[in-house]
Amino acid sequence: MSPAAPEGSSRAALRDPVLAPTVLLLWAAVSLFVLYPVTRLLVLTFWDGGPTLAPVVELVSSWQHRRALGNSLLLAALVGGIGTALGFAFALLAVRARLPRGVGGALDAVVLLPLISPPFTAAIALIFALGPKGLISYHVFGIASLNIYGLGGTLLSETLTYFPIAYLTLKGVLGNIDPNLEDGAFSLGARRGRVFRTVTVPLAAPGLANSFLLLSAASLADFATPLILGGTKFPVLPTQAFLQITGLYDMRGGAALSFLLLVPALAVFIAQRWWTERRSVVTVTGKSGAATSIKSLSPGAVALLALVCAVTVLLVLTFYALIVVASMVRALGADNSLSSAHYAHVFSGGLKAIRDTLVIAAICMPLGGLFAVVLGFVVARTRFPGRRALEFAAMINYALPGTIVGIAYLVAFNDPPLALTGTAFILVICYVFRYSLAGTRATTALLAQIDPSLEEASASLGARRDVTFRRVVLPLIRPALLAGMTVLFIRAMTAISATIFLVSLSWSLVTVRILEGITNLELGQASAFSVLVILLVYAAVLLASLAMRWLNAGNLGQAGTLLGG
Amino acid sequence: MSTILLLAACLLLAAPAWGADALNVYTAWPESLSQPIFKAYTARTGVPINFIRLSTGELVARATAEKNNPRADVIWGAPGDGFAAAKAAGIIEPYRPPTAENVPAELKDPEGYYTAVSRNTLIFMSNAKLLKEKGLKPPTSWSDLLEPAYKGQIQTADARTSGTALTRILSIYYAFGRDEDKAVEYQKRLHQNVQVYTKSGGGCTIPTAMGQAMVCIAHMPDAMEAKKKGYDMITTFPREGVAAVIEGVALVRGAKNREAATRFIDWTFTKDMQDLLDKNEVYMLPTLPGASINPAVAALMKEAKLLPVDLDWVGKNRKRLVDRWVNEVIKE
């Protein structure tokens, strides 16, 4: 029955009968599944009879690695900036342009496509669409010598892959902005542009910063896209780390390069913190008046947004049309006769991988979703000592390239007493501790908009902190829980870099089958698996939206819109 | 709360995953080539084979990380340089199958750490339609690839990820009379015509088949796999020659099913298994003298001038060759 006020001292937080054990459990989980494997790998890398920086010194002297560091930062900034802008455009159009219901739903469905595609597939579709003899570049525009390998192709592919994260984040944030605030500005005589600049954008700022962070971090950790599209002209750190390990058989060097990546990741994290905490962006106060109609976008602005979104949508649709076609013909380009052979293979030889993946995803979602919102809540709403350190520790696995996380897990969990390799559990924890960040971010961003007085009211009526969390906070942050769980499901269906080291004979994954398809030159099989993954994810997202709408029963409209209802 | 759930899930799922009676194999061969052979072994002996396919580098990295508690018993079907790395990392142990003495000395490690399952080599694969459009003949020499007509039209593998790329570098090295500087100089000029270096060795075949590039330099099995699918491709060899490389097998150090593993390795060097390379149309040559050779492979191989490779030298010099590729060939 302790007072649950966020303003309470950290000493009070330590005595809280619910909070203290919760935080301890979070720390225990993060220590075991993030800090321990990373430490094992750090020791392996920087301990050679004594501490040594030799691996790093050696690597930094290589021209490729020096350039890779610069390229990684440039790419992360560009993907973060352009992806956030694109996501914001889509979110504005979806939330503010009063689109017909069907159009909004269709927009959501298309926007999700790149996010839910298995790795490699999208990059390969991009090559076939925009490459030297590409469907769009050559057959539509007649350009025969377009070089997509390098910064351009990598940037385009990563932006299209990750901007949906910005869209999902910003849609929730924009939906939470009370239109009365904008109305206030209008009634004071401000024009649309000014209202947008001085009211809408500042209110969306935590969302924008979050999305920039998420996109930059995603770009910093992505190795699959630059591996295929970067070529030798555009080396980036995660790819170099991967190549160092798998190509030069140099695990220490690869690990050292990966730890270099933590530096920019930490910088982005601190910048984001500083930015969001300077401003108050409370818009859900519990005393909100009647919502008025939204008029902050002029018809011209809507038309411009619609154009940007339409071009993006067309580009994305072309990529996926190519994948669908490849899955339905005998051998794309050689024998274009219709064939169901690839799907027959998926539903015979591939059935086990599909089942395994679904089982693992089903376990990941509730575990990771809960972990994400509890962590987000502890970080945003309590004064618990060390909560920043906890938040940072929890994002390490996300910031590191997957190859490194996979190898760290192998090193840490291969020997008794923690011999987890070969089990489904190692895949589950890998996903939970690598991909819960989206849920945590969504939670903190939403909580930044919700006035703590709601919880204070609950506490002053005598509710315990866990009751307040369950009855007041959880309903308010349901969109974040939903977003977090959906991202986890998507990742379980699509991620590969870490899990390639963790799959076993008992537990296989669809993504590994896709990679096999591509390595075996079975483009058709890889495409058929990809189409199946996309359909499964759509089904899951649809179910999640329906469940959320049913749960909410009208008390929180934006939950449905977060993933398109 | 989440931790409790996690621990519960742990108890539910942490069932032993690797069967005691089955043999556990890591392979770098595509499933289409390796699985029929593993299935044949199971059919003959009743011993089930569990296998994971990984790229050579991933395979070595994974086995190295698992060194203290090995999960695999045998590494079967990976390029020779991967085995050189595995030997250096201390993850394999010497094992000489009884019939291995029939295998020529240049096809096995002198200390017995690994033995060649098959011989493999490099091939040029060109898109017939594109060549015709430009009025070009398929390349039959390493110097043909330097023609300006091929600018931005050649795809081949990245030396840091692919065994195919090492075969390419070795082919050039031996074709230039083992003059390393000349070989590097040639590669720099070749680089001017390369559109992209792909991650996997076979990565250039489908894009080339689809007209993204004109020529793909790949291992023979990958190129022939694409051709089998019906793409209109022409295969040629450079007349200066191509390096004859090996695909090997080795026993994992501390293998849990050591006896089953050695029996499987023994079977690898019987006529029974070596004949499967012919029957399954694997475009590689058997290493056991007397094994039957697929006529199509034999016919193709007749065109190739195979340059013998010194395995020991490759093991010791691979890193420098790849480093020079990174620091001289692709540096701009």
Q: How far is CA B48 from CA A503, A506, B54, in A?
A: 19, 13, 19
What is the structure's pLDDT at A230? 83
Q: Is residue B46 part of a domain?
A: yes
Q: Is A308 helix (H, G, I), strand (E, B) or coil?
A: helix
What is the structure's pLDDT at A52? 82
> How far is the C-alpha of A522 from the C-alpha of B202, rounded, in Å?
11
* Sheet architecture: strand order including B122-127: B194-198, B154-157, B215-219, B122-127, B233-236
Q: Does residue B211 come out as left (phi exceeding 0), alpha (psi in the -120 to 50 range) or beta? A: left
> How far is the C-alpha of A488 from the C-alpha of B275, rounded, in Å?
47
Option in B6, B197, B231 nearest A334 (CB) = B231
Please state the rounded mean pLDDT for residues A476-480: 80
Total residue length of chain B:
332
**Chain B residues close to A246, C-beta within 8 Å:** 55-58, 60-61, 160-161
Q: What is the mean pLDDT of chain A?
A: 80
Enumerate residues 6+ apart whose C-beta is below 8 A from A305.
Answer: A89, A92, A93, A97, A297
Q: Is residue B189 part of a domain?
A: yes
What is the structure's pLDDT at B27? 93
Tokens encoding A107:
């927009």
Q: A138-152, A361-375, A383-397, B99-113: which has the minimum mean pLDDT? A: A138-152
Domain identity same for B113 and B224: no
> How far is the C-alpha of A423 from the C-alpha of A499, rounded, in Å?
12
Element (H, E) at A70: helix A63-96
The residue behind tokens 């001292």 is: A9
Q: What are the extents of the domains in chain A?
A: 18-45+67-280+300-562
Domain identity same for B182 and B276: no
Report which of B135, B158, B154, B137 is spatially closest to residue B146, judged by C-alpha positions: B154
Please state the rounded mean pLDDT for residues A96-100: 75
Please state the rounded mean pLDDT for residues A6-22: 68
Q: DSSP string covering B20-69, please?
A: SSSEEEEE-S-HHHHHHHHHHHHHHH---EEEEE--HHHHHHHHHHTTTS
Q: A155-169, A274-288, A343-357, B286-300: which has the minimum mean pLDDT? A: A274-288
Q: A139-148, B26-35, B42-51, B275-284: which has the minimum mean pLDDT? A: A139-148
Please state the rounded mean pLDDT for residues A523-550: 82
Report which of B21, B34, B9, B307 is spatially closest to residue B173, judged by C-alpha positions: B307
What is the structure's pLDDT at B233? 93
Q: How far is CA A234 from CA A66, A155, A240, A550, B181, in A?
A: 12, 11, 10, 48, 26
**Chain A residues close to B56, C-beta within 8 Å:** 246
Please state the rounded mean pLDDT for residues A376-394: 86
CB contact under 8 A, A416 and B69: yes
**Model confidence at B179: pLDDT above 90:** yes
**Model confidence at A497: pLDDT above 70:** yes
> How far is the C-alpha of B113 from the C-alpha of B109, rounded, in Å?
6
Q: Is residue B197 part of a domain?
A: yes
> How far is the C-alpha of B293 from the C-alpha of B298, rounded, in Å?
6
Please name the residues between 274 and 333 in chain A that touch chain B, using a CB distance below 8 Å.
Answer: 330-333
Q: Is residue B162 part of a domain?
A: yes
> Which pLDDT band holds residue B16 (cuts at 50, 70, 90)?
very low
What is the structure's pLDDT at A491? 84
ipTM, 2 decimals? 0.77
> How far is the C-alpha of B269 from the C-alpha of A109, rounded, in Å?
55
> How far is the C-alpha of A232 from the C-alpha of A246, rounded, in Å?
16
> How far is the C-alpha of A213 from the C-alpha of B237, rounded, in Å?
51
> Which pLDDT band holds residue B8 (cuts at 50, 70, 90)?
very low
Per-residue model confidence as pLDDT tens digits over A272-283: 667 666 655 555
What is the structure's pLDDT at A296? 61
Per-residue model confidence as pLDDT tens digits over B124-171: 999 999 999 999 999 999 999 999 999 989 999 988 877 889 999 999
CB contact under 8 A, B207 and A131: yes
Q: Is residue B321 part of a domain?
A: yes
Enumerate residues 6+ apart whose C-beta is below 8 A from A325.
Answer: A332
Option in B66, B69, B199 nearest A227 (CB) = B199
Please name the residues between 120 and 159 in chain A that touch chain B, using a CB distance below 8 Å.
Answer: 127-128, 131-133, 145, 147, 149
**Model confidence at B240: pLDDT above 90:** yes
What is the structure's pLDDT at B4? 47
Give the class (CATH, top level) of A18-45+67-280+300-562.
mainly alpha
The Cα of A314 is separated from the nearest Cα of chain B by a number of Å equal to: 22
The Cα of A300 is separated from the nearest Cα of chain B by a number of Å equal to: 41
Write b or e for each residue in A91-110: b if 16 or more Cβ atoms lie within 10 A of its Cβ, otherwise e.
Answer: bbbbbbbebeeeebbebbeb
Domain identity same for B127 and B28: no
The Cα of A330 is separated from the nearest Cα of chain B by a number of Å equal to: 9
Domain identity same for B72 and B190: no
**Which range marks the domain in which residue B156 is found?**
122-243+312-329
Q: Is residue B76 part of a domain?
A: yes
A548: amino acid identity, one letter = M
CB contact under 8 A, B207 and A245: no
Q: DSSP string covering A34-51, please?
A: IIHHHHHHHHHHHBSSSB
If one compares A9 and A138, the residue with the highest pLDDT of the two is A138
> Which pLDDT band holds residue B112 (cuts at 50, 70, 90)?
very high
Q: How far, in whole angstroms, is CA A458 from its chain's centroid? A: 33
Tokens encoding A165:
């994260």
Query: Contact A88/A170 with Cβ under 8 angstroms?
Result: yes
Option in A145, A334, A423 nearest B152 (CB) = A145
> How far is the C-alpha of B59 from the C-alpha of B73, rounded, in Å?
13
**Chain B residues close to A367, C-beta within 8 Å:** 2, 5-6, 9
A359: amino acid identity, one letter = V
Domain identity same for B155 and B212: yes
Domain identity same for B217 and B126: yes
What is the structure's pLDDT at A277? 63
Please name the residues between 397 and 416 in chain A that touch chain B, using a CB distance below 8 Å.
Answer: 407, 410-411, 414-416
**Model confidence at A4: pLDDT above 70:** no
Domain identity same for B151 and B287: no
Element (H, E) at A343: helix A341-346
What is the structure's pLDDT at A520? 66
Q: A286-290, A405-409, A454-458, B279-283: which has the minimum mean pLDDT? A: A286-290
User: Is the C-alpha dihedral spanning A236, A406, B164, A132 positive or negative?
Assistant: negative
CATH number at residue B26: 3.40.190.10
What is the structure's pLDDT at A510? 87
CB contact under 8 A, B225 and A521: yes
Q: Is B136 helix (H, G, I), strand (E, B) or coil?
A: coil
Tokens encoding B98:
């009884």
Per-residue model confidence as pLDDT tens digits over A38-55: 999 889 888 888 888 877
Q: Is residue B300 part of a domain?
A: no
> Which pLDDT band holds residue B18 (cuts at 50, 70, 90)?
very low
Q: Is A144 helix (H, G, I), strand (E, B) or coil?
A: coil
For B30, which residue in chain A has the nearest alpha carbon?
A: A520
**Chain A residues close to B209, C-beta within 8 Å:** 333-334
Q: Is B166 helix (H, G, I), strand (E, B) or coil?
A: helix
**Model confidence at B19: pLDDT above 50:** no
CB contact under 8 A, B202 and A521: yes
> Which pLDDT band holds residue B14 (cuts at 50, 70, 90)?
very low
CB contact under 8 A, A334 and B68: no
What is the structure's pLDDT at B127? 94
Option in B52, B65, B200 nearest A411 (CB) = B65
Domain identity same for B77 and B224: no
Domain identity same for B263 and B234: no
| pLDDT > 70 in chain B, percent | 94
Report which of B179, B169, B218, B178 is spatially closest to residue B323, judged by C-alpha positions: B169
What is the structure's pLDDT at B25? 95
Q: Is residue B10 part of a domain?
A: no
**Model confidence at B111: pLDDT above 50:** yes
The upper half-sphere exposure of residue A407, i.e. CA atoms within 13 Å in the direction of its Cβ, equals 31
Domain identity same for B110 and B230: no
**Chain B residues close to A523, C-beta within 8 Å:** 206
Domain identity same for B184 and B214: yes
**Chain A residues close to B331, C-beta within 8 Å:** 63-64
The upper half-sphere exposure of residue B118, i.e. CA atoms within 13 Å in the direction of its Cβ, equals 30
Option in B66, B88, B160 nearest A247 (CB) = B160
The Cα of A67 is separated from the nearest Cα of chain B by a number of Å equal to: 11
For testing contact with chain A, the best of B55, B197, B229 (most A CBs within 10 A): B229
What is the structure's pLDDT at A294? 57
Per-residue model confidence as pLDDT tens digits over A202-231: 888 878 888 888 888 888 878 778 887 887
Per-residue model confidence as pLDDT tens digits over A298-318: 788 888 888 999 999 988 888
**Model confidence at B198: pLDDT above 80:** yes
Domain identity same for B130 and B69: no
**Chain B residues close to A417, C-beta within 8 Å:** none
**Model confidence at A238: pLDDT above 50:** yes
**Model confidence at A371: pLDDT above 60:** yes
For testing contact with chain B, the best of A64, A520, A527, A529 (most B CBs within 10 A): A520
Residues paired with residue A329 on neighbouring β-strands, in sequence order: A338
CB contact under 8 A, A248 and B212: no
> How far is the C-alpha of A242 from the C-alpha of A253, rounded, in Å?
10
For A134, which residue in chain B has the nearest alpha carbon?
A: B212
How many domains are contained in chain B? 2
Please state the rounded mean pLDDT for residues A292-298: 62
| pLDDT > 70 in chain A, percent | 88
| pLDDT > 90 in chain B, percent | 62
CB contact under 8 A, A246 and B61: yes
**Model confidence at A466: pLDDT above 60:** yes
Query: Contact B191/B174 with Cβ under 8 angstroms?
Result: no
CB contact under 8 A, B331 and A63: yes
